[in-house]
Amino acid sequence: MESLVKHPLEPVFDNDSKVLILGTMPSPKSRENGFYYAHPQNRFWKILSEIFSEPFPVSNEQKKALVFRHHIALWDVLQSCSIDGAEDSTIRNPVPNDIKSLLDKTNIQNIFTTGRKAFQLYQKFCLSTTGIQAVALPSTSPANQRYYTYEDILREYRVLLAYTE
């Protein structure tokens, strides 16, 4: 059932953030848990811990510490939208976040999106104000497992190493 969702999470960033990773909208599990990529089958945290040779972060504080150690900021392209569960393909009436305001407070020079829909929405609503071309990475969502193996995603996310160290 499609419903209007307002983004409940603050962007995760600090003064040392160099890279911004954008999703579309937090999933119901992420909204419930109060942090990004919180669905237990989402591969985001497993991928980041592996590419950075870090222990798997369990708590939200451990997740935040991991991204801060690697100069990564997290947010989503959308401030609100109508969506059915976590299905990006059902997004209607998208309203973008003010990505430019976050960039103005940080040293972020590189933007990556988690998934095709986040990339399309960024291109449509944000690129003209940010002036930074995003790089599309595959979604780490459980729904994407039929299209990308863990190894495929891991290989593509390794590009972050060149921008975060």
CATH number where 125 lies: 3.40.470.10
The C-alpha atoms of residue 93 and residue 128 are separated, in whole angstroms, by: 19
**pLDDT mean over 66-89:** 94
> Which pLDDT score, from 0 to 100, does residue 3 have?
82
Question: Any residues with CB less than 8 A from the CB of 7 and at least 6 apart, and which?
Answer: 25, 26, 76, 78, 79, 80, 97
Task: Identify the H or E element spanning 114.
Answer: strand 110-114
pLDDT at 2: 62
Residue 62 has pLDDT above 80, yes or no: yes
| pLDDT band per the 50, 70, 90 thresholds, residue 123 | very high
The parent domain of residue 122 ranges over 2-164
* pLDDT for 35 beyond 80: yes
**Mean local confidence (pLDDT), 30-52:** 96
> CB of 71 within 8 A of CB of 18?
yes
Q: Which residue stretches of the chain are H helix?
A: 28-33, 44-51, 60-69, 99-104, 116-125, 127-130, 150-157, 161-164
Does the pLDDT value for residue 64 go beyond 90? yes
Count of domains forming the chain:
1
**Residue 55 three-state SS:** coil
